[in-house]
Structure 1
Amino acid sequence: MLLNQPADTPAPGAAGGDDIVIDTTTKTFMKDVVEESRTRPVLVDFWAPWCGPCKQLTPIIEKVVRAAKGKVRLAKMNTDEHPAVAQQLGIQSLPTVYAFVNGQPVDGFMGAQPEGQIKALVDRLTAGAPDSTEEILLSADAALEEGDLVGASELYAHILTEEPENLKALAGLARTQLAAGSLDAAKAILAKVPEKGANDAAIAAVRAAIELEEAAAALGDVKDLEAKVAADPLDHQARFDLALALNARGKREEAIDQLLTIVRRDRNWNDDGARKQLVQFFEAWGPADEMTLLGRRRLSSILFA
């Protein structure tokens, strides 16, 4: 499953990759407006080159939208070139502005309006919207935690549109792709990390998670590994492989148990390999994760008993 990623090319009509004010078409309306409005409100300015009031309104609405600093998008549609959407919405006069939220038109106006009226509309639409990158990151992280992979992907991608080298957003988007089973996409995102961010904790955690996924992919069925361990409890390699396979299937505490068993029985096996693998687990899961905290406590109780 490959989720949406930050676009490598500017949106239609958006100079320099600007995704705040764009030109949209009948073909791109679904993506530019309907889908985007599930992440943030989108104003659609229906206009035509012959429309005098349109020429008055456009610079005002662009100014107000840009002042909102990305919390709302403006999509401009030339109805002479792309009449279908305006016809479907029953628009009979220009300019007309529709506001879309969660895929539906929820507000709007007809005719040129003063800046104060447009600002009031934008304020209504963005009330309660995150004010900062950190707040958007928190929302994205929460969506990922809840399993809303599409929502998380859209939020991380939105940040990266504004800040292409934001390490937390890059790490979050890579994690989202990893959770969706798109290992190659996750690796491609990490390839975009600037050299100065290579050792960032969040980036290192995703890299560790990817390495674990790759290692687990070649291990085979968990039941076969469990059978090998049952047949020979001192087969540390089989137990080590079982730990990797269990972790890949979300059975993290069981994975901890297997590695701790090796540490307890033979600390020096494979050059302290079981302890080192636990440390990689902890790095991939994050320092505050409950399984990391549990694993560290249990490892310490063995090492310092």
Structure 2
Amino acid sequence: MSMSGVVDLAAVKAAGEAKQKAEQQRADPAGGGGSAPAGLVINVDEAGFEADVLQRSAEVPVVIDFWAEWCEPCKQLGPILERLAQEYAGRFLLAKVDVDSNQMLFQQFGVQGIPAVFAVVAGQALPLFQGAAPEQQIRETLDQLIQVSEERFGITGLQGVPQAEAEEAQEEEPEPAGPPEDPALAAAHQALDEGDMERAVQAYRDVLAQDPGNTEARLGLGQAELLGRVQGLDAQQVRKEAADQPTLVDAQLRAADLDMVGGHVEDAFGRIVETVKRTAGDDRERARLRLLELFEVIGAEDSRVVTARSALARVLF
């Protein structure tokens, strides 16, 4: 792993100052540098980012997990990162950022899609990987991050986190197992996790053919279809076409899909509502149906869906 190409964050202390602070903390345990942390996994928002991430990155590598509640791959990756944070016992700190609630951070880091994982070391941000990577690959990436942090900045992580505590956290009593998962639905989830969108779409459709009211399958189908549509798209070209041709339905729908995958849910909904407003006939109906599909991805009870439904109704009627 190289630190070349890092993203310098605004209002970040120089790397030299960060390194000096870390060295002072290690030399003076009474000053607080050697105390065990309150938690190895923290939820971070824009208001607390400087204190929780930038300042702490002077003493420990901070791994940032950009996620969202509606993102199925995020739900696969998150528990792995949280378990590894406990296992690594203070050699890195995991900061979780909900992109729906923290759009400024999402944009500042230039995140293109979620899940996305970055690291901040001595006030500098480094992209690690995107998507639900295999655990072995994640471990190798974390090991390289820890090595670079120590060799280049002298940052060795938080001290005083007993390994026994980490092991105990992993050995806690598991929650009672729920009912066994439908094998067909499990196969659909596996295809989605593996990135085989064509197989995932067909598998979810098979489940719905047998159980039309299966909410989980309907949600999974919407996600798989969305991810399948954005595969291979040139984001820059798509957005240019959408800006140059505001009445071209296909261009607007492709841009809306990219907005959704990038976590810009309101932007995606607003774009399609405007498209419905500008168009008529078959074009308007295609845009309307796509918006309804995206509502399924987020969930009918979500406040953004409720707001967009009202906006759509005003345009149609």
TM range (shorter): 0.3 to 0.5
TM-score (norm 2): 0.40
Between structure 1 and structure 2, the one with the greater Rg is 1
Greater RCO, CA 8 A, separation 6+: 2
